[in-house]
Amino acid sequence: MQAENFKVEHIEKIIELYESCVGPAMTKFLSPESVLKAVQNHSVSDGYRIGSRWTMHSKLTFREEHPDWHVVPSFNPNFDPKDRDSERYADAQKAGQLFEKKSLEYLTSVE
């Protein structure tokens, strides 16, 4: 979905998917309206540090992908490089992939 087509309910669903796949997280501190504005202004590539069940430093990010510049929600576990060989990191990566898959399926279904 392109940035200009996002609505508040899309952001709310993505936050819900984040919580179910990689949470619990501090998503209650996210304003869906503020996230939507940032997505539409193309200014959320660094993401929101809201944590996950692995680390409080995990991020919800949105990136734009070519060829049509669709916005793709993603999960950045944001682990310290020295911890990236751990089983916890592998688990976080798998959960992040699930979140991204479910988010894309959702966004595709509402386009």
Output the CA torsion 81→87→28→9 (10° steps).
Answer: 100
Position 29 pLDDT exceeds 80: yes
Q: Which residue has the higher pLDDT, 90 or 66?
A: 90
Instruction: Render pLDDT for 69-95 as a digit per residue (tens, 0 to 9).
Output: 889 999 999 998 898 999 999 999 999
Are 3 and 107 a contacting pair, CB within 8 Å?
no
